[in-house]
Amino acid sequence: MEFGEYVERRRPALMRFATVLTCQAWLAEDLVSDVLGRAFERWERISRLDEPHAYVRRMVVNEYLSWRRRLARTSPRAELEDVGHGDGADERAERDAMIRRLANLPRRQRAAVVLRYYAGLPDAEIAAELGCRVTTVRSQISRALASLRVDLTANPHAYQETR
């Protein structure tokens, strides 16, 4: 497969994956663009792999983990006022609420949860993507889910407020 064909077919999936991972569309765009730029330089080698998309997805995860460290030191933060949602926006509001909860997780826990529940990868593949053991993946996901449950019990109306 040529690089241009790969980008045309897989960029939307990479963008969705990166958006869920970073919780910010602008950061996902930058992240995917940087990764695809590096993938282009190595495409001859990457395209010969059994799963080139898995390799590029791993590049996105690795770039996200390193961006989070850099971004925490350099980006300004501001609280934005939540705007109301019009009719038919229930799914989007629910997704946004989940992304806000995911944003509060530590970066490795968030990456593990996104790889499991968004990308649908088994523990062994997640461990390979994150460069850790399978037991570490399981504990990261367990801790993340426990944090998400605590978040919902601490504010039981969070889901209803966004609807």
- Please, which residues have CB within 8 angstroms of residue 52's CB and are 6 or more apart in sequence? 1, 6, 46
Q: Residue 103 carries which side chain, given as an amino acid letter? A: A
Domain chopping of the chain, boundaries: 1-78, 88-163
Q: First and final CA of the chain: distance in angstroms? A: 43
Distance between CA atoms of residues 82 and 88, nearest Å = 17
Q: What is the pTM of this model?
A: 0.59
Structure tokens at 151: 């978040």
- What CATH number was assigned to the domain covering residues 88-163? 1.10.10.10
Buried b (16+ CB within 10 A) or exposed e, 66-78: ebbeeeeeeeeee
pLDDT of 5 > 90? The answer is yes
Percent of the chain past pLDDT 90, that is, above it, reads 50
At residue 163, the pLDDT reads 37
